[in-house]
Amino acid sequence: MTILLSICGLRVVHVGDEYEEVTKQSRHEKYRKTTIGLDIVAMPLAEDKEIFLCQCTTDWKSEKVADIQDISFELRQRIKSDEVKIYSVLITQVEVDQITRSKGSTEFEGVNAVIIDDVIMLLNEILNGNKPYELAKSILSGQFVTSIT
């Protein structure tokens, strides 16, 4: 996903994997919570003033949603600016009907879902020789939704 979003034209940093493991002890000491639930930080061009905090997951558990909500909330508190929009994004292969059932609950609130159909759409755009910058931004921000109603 990091490579795909980069090809789409976003500035992307992969912070999952070893970052999650290396900083566990210091997070536990400071926050009493060891999980981070963050894999990718993506930012469009500087003038867009948006940050996409992405968690990639194969499932749709409330813990995953809560993790990305917590991280987004903390970053919003630290930035304290209305000029920067921070999006919480879960990138998942879970079927759309499972996400649709969760969408009405408060657990889903403020978290955008990127499903496999969205990923395939971006890949197809790239294979067709396009650089789908705007499409990638709209998918991550929840403005373009393929099947979730």
Q: CA-to-CA distance for 48 and 33, rounded, in angstroms?
A: 32
Coil/strand/helix, residue 136: helix
Return the pLDDT at 70: 85
pTM: 0.79
Confidence at residue 80, expressed as pLDDT on a 0 to 100 scale? 79
Per-residue three-class SS string for 80-110: CCCCCEEEEEEEECCCHHHHHHHHCCHHHCC
Q: Grade residue 149 by pLDDT with cuts at 50, 70 and 90.
A: very low
The pLDDT value given to residue 146 = 63
Quote the pLDDT of residue 64.
79
E strands within the chain? 11-14, 40-43, 50-57, 85-92, 111-114
Model confidence over 2-45: pLDDT tens digits?
Answer: 999 999 999 999 887 655 555 555 655 665 655 567 889 999 88
Structure tokens at 135: 């499409």
Mean pLDDT of 41-63: 85
**What pLDDT sits at residue 33?**
57
pLDDT, one tens digit per residue, over 58-89 is: 877 777 788 888 888 888 888 877 888 999 99
Most confident of the ranges 23-27, 102-106, 112-116, 122-126: 122-126
User: Which residue segments constitute the domains of the chain, with CATH numbers given?
Assistant: 2-114+133-139 (3.40.1350)
More confident residue, 119 or 28: 119
What does the block give as tokens for 127? 């294979």
